Amino acid sequence: MRQPRANINEILEWHTNRQLDGKTGLRRKRIETVASHLRRCLDEVGEEVITDASKSMLELERQFCADDARGRILNGGDLLVVLKAYVCEPWLLTDLRDRAVQLRFADALETLILKQHLATPHEFAQVGVDVFGAILKAKADLSAERLRTR
């Protein structure tokens, strides 16, 4: 029998807690900021990744508890699609230090999805490479912007 796949809420909670572990002060606040920003991205972009089959499930989930219903029905493969948007405009944070944390957070999350098999190989092959490329581009753009502002 197949194990149920972790949903986005479970993945994000585990990842965020792991990233926050041992962090205090400004470092902790920056991680909390990027995690919250990813949730906002999920709220907007998440609707685009919902299949017709999942839409009826989403409606049922919303009847029981509207809060985070989308995060309860989407999984790691869907999160990769959201991550791809999250590391591109208009979702990149304007503060360069926050953006660096955002990109490290997203990179670590993609690695988690890959290593823990939270997306199918097919999903990862379809979107994971694009996410990796988008993160690399955003990091290069960040480095260039840091050089310009010195």
Distance CA 84, CA 127 (A): 8
Residue 5 DSSP code? P
CA distances from 31 to 10, 23, 37, 68 (A): 17, 9, 10, 20
Is the pTM value of this prediction over 0.75?
Answer: yes
Alpha-carbon gap, residue 41 to 8, rounded angstroms: 13
Which whole-number Å values give the CA distances from 68 to 7, 52, 110, 112, 127, in the listed order?
11, 19, 21, 21, 23
Strands (E), 53-146: none
Going residue by residue through the chain (150 aa), what tens digit of pLDDT does each one get?
A: 456 678 899 999 999 999 999 999 999 999 999 999 999 999 888 777 777 667 777 777 777 766 776 777 788 888 999 999 999 999 999 999 999 999 999 999 999 999 999 998 888 888 989 999 999 999 999 999 999 988
43: which 2 tokens? 């709220």
- Alpha carbon distance 95, 58 (integer Å): 34
